Amino acid sequence: MDFATLLQVLDSTVRLATPLLFACLAGLFSERSGVVDIGLEGKMLAAAFASAAVAAVTGSVWLGLLAGIVSATLMSAIHGLASITFRGNQLISGVAINFLASGLTVLIAQSWFGQGGRTPSLIGGGRFTGITLPFAEALSGVPVIGPIYAELISGHSILVYVAFLMVPLSWFILYRTRFGLRLRAVGEAPEAVDTAGVSVIGLRYAAIAICGLLCGLAGAYLATGLQAGFVREMTAGRGYIALAALIFAKWRPWYALWACLLFGLLQAVALRYQNIDLGAFTVPVQVMDALPYILTVIILAGFVGKAIPPRASGEPYLKER
Amino acid sequence: MDKMPAWADAVLVPLISILLAAVLSALVILAIGENPVDAFKLMVEGALMRSAGWGYTLYYTTNFIFTGLCVAVAFHAKMFNIGGEGQAMIGGLGVALVCLFIPFPHWSIALLVATLAAGAFGALWALIPAYLQAKRGSHIVITTIMFNFIAAAVLNYVLVNVLRPQGAMDPATAKFPEATQLPTFQDLFATAENPLFRGSPANVTFFLAVLACVAFWFLMWRTKLGYEIRAFGHSESAARYAGISPVRITVVAMLISGGLAGMMALNTTMGEAERLVMNATEGAGFIGIAVALMGRSHPVGIFLAALLFGFLYQGGAELALWTNIPRELITVIQALVILFTGALDNMVRMPLERIFMATRRRNG
């Protein structure tokens, strides 16, 4: 593999890791507050459709982004209603949201656009286009560093940079602010937070609102940045890969970045090479497809460091009387 | 007493939940500019008014009974098995291997052996998540989700690289031999003057599913193992105090669960397609969740819920054929049923409980 191919693979890794990173951080906020979210997939899908549909109708990608965030947040609100207010089973609610998004997106797309459950292809202002960072042209002649800067770092759409900036931001919010401290506390010991006079319900709703916002960004990037329009089931399991990355990262922001880059790399390699010839034997493409899940199971099994979720995650909080 | 009567809990709560789901579904149909009453009529017409329609409805019902029971066994042990889909895929692999490589003299023997194979393969696929849950505390929901994807990759590899016949383009096995093809309802019930169930895929596996319902009831409420599973599900600490091994119950319950999911593949691969294709499960593993929730994890409830979803599936296909409403409407209805009977259960239950309390106070 030469240097140019390597750069191409890494470039596509960055693109493919972006939606994973958004969704993974979304799950991080939700689960750190004690609300398990297996509905990331559905929220992304809803956001992908809403952003593509609005961008196609209005021709403005920014309105599309807004619609994506609103739709994912609405889905989050349903999840919150079921799992926080009515203390229902959070896993079942997540499953329901995934199906709701999977069905509604195609249903509405068919009813609005009549193109077999997809939106029209986005053109011009309906898409996020790449941004050329300063000096990318000038530096591209410099050996090694030039191409890395011009090809790998420059030229992505704005949401890619937002995603990577979200990592330090999430870290800061979670570990350096009062809100973050309380959010983490409510996922470990909600009764203590309640005793301190802070609203458990309020904190959890805030957490899933952030989750909705980030899922909205993930879905919008999928439909308006990575691809040009919505097609049915376009998330293709990314929500679950993000969930896997979250466990892989043991619910911590910086590790989430590395986990998403790793899984992005796996996707990029699987996309580029059908079967990988290692000389002695060939690695079939299906192994690459399954690797994120296999790695997560190994991590979950605790053979390579133990992944312990926030203590109160999955437990609805019932105030004692 | 601060509880509702048992009949209200078992019948009234799910009924109201389903009504809510139905009203919302009707609103969805209205919102996309179609008439819900006409749509419902068309669904009834297509699914229940002709014997061929029934043939499809019962075919889908068979799938959903198996996957519903699969989810229900795990529910009784207070586990959530989202892996029915993957377990059914691997179960299908078991069916295909048996049917392709063992020369059977008659379909009845083939069915018997294939049932064992489907159950064993499905159970094995559930074994690793079960073991990890029991021994290492890895959450079964996450591991079974991961195993769904791994199953899809395994199946994809086997169908593309191993079992695909020479020269064939689509990832599927060769057609199963004649002797393994199960008699359909058409073979069983149609006569020359009365051609019932013409061309529909319902087959003898349906009776196997009904049998599974009965066996499920017997296992859960009439055997020691069933008692242990339910006791474990109600209170793990109490069960442990009574000498019930959590590891054993977790593993055994998941093996039964996976086995039932695997048996679903009998219907789709041996009964209908007569070869193993890539997407043989068609999401039935997930519909099992809705069926088990709606049926309150009881075999009678599961049978009725599976029948309802069978009707929805066949009716939805009719809608997609004759109107502008795509099949995804059924996915929306399924989501609403899961939401209302599963996650928003308390939204229905709390006001109902209050009403019952109020009337009881007035009378007492």
DSSP A68-104: HHHHHHHHHHHHHIIIIIS---HHHHHHHHHHHHHHH
Give a yes or no: residue B210 inside a domain. yes
Question: Is residue B309 one of the residues assigned to a domain?
Answer: no
Q: A290, B141: Cβ pair inside 8 Å?
A: no
Q: What is the model's pLDDT at position A1?
A: 63
In single-letter form, the type of residue at position B89 comes to M
Is there a domain that residue B341 lies in? Answer: no
Q: In the A/B pair of chains, how many CB contacts fall below 8 A?
A: 156
pLDDT of residue A306: 67
CB nearest B153 (choices: A89, A290, A296): A290
User: Mind listing the pLDDT tens digit for each residue in A9-67?
Assistant: 898 999 999 999 999 999 999 999 999 998 999 999 999 999 999 999 998 889 999 99
A300 interaction partners in chain B (CB closer than 8 Å): 132, 136, 138-139, 142-143, 146
User: Best mutation site among B75, B338, B350 for testing chain A: the one with the most A CBs within 10 Å?
Assistant: B338
What is the rounded distance in angstroms from the CA atom of residue B127 to the CA atom of residue A233? 30
Domains of chain A: 3-128+145-300 (1.10.3470)
Structural domain includes residue B94: yes
Ramachandran region, residue A77 (left: φ > 0; alpha: ψ -120 to 50; beta: rest): alpha
pLDDT at B111: 93
How many other CB atoms sit within 10 Å of the CB of residue B209? 26
Two structure tokens written together for B297: 């994890």
Query: pLDDT of A70-116, one tens digit each?
Result: 999 999 999 999 989 888 888 889 989 999 999 999 999 988 888 87
ipTM of the complex: 0.88
Interface probe with B: pick from A36, A37, A286, most Cβ of B within 10 Å: A286
Gap between the Cα atoms of B224 and B350, Å rounded: 34
In a domain, B319, yes or no: no
- Cβ contact, residue pair A244, B146, below 8 Å: yes
In a domain, B353, yes or no: no
Residue B41 falls within a domain, yes or no?
no
- Residue A91 distance to chain B (closest CA, Å): 8
Task: Using alpha carbons, list the distances in angstroms from residue B149 to A63, A237, B97, B144, B155.
Answer: 34, 9, 21, 9, 10
Partner residue facing A293 (CB), from B150, B338, B342: B150
In a domain, B42, yes or no: no
- Distance from the Cα of A153 to chain B's closest Cα (Å) equals 32
Domain that holds residue B84: 60-295
Using a CB-CB cut-off of 8 Å, the residues of chain B touching A96 are 335-336, 338-339, 342-343
What is each CA distance from B352 to A316, B220, B358, in whole angstroms? 21, 29, 10
Count of the separate structural domains present in chain B: 1
pTM of the model as a whole: 0.89
The per-residue pLDDT for range B153-164, each reduced to its tens digit, is 999 999 988 888
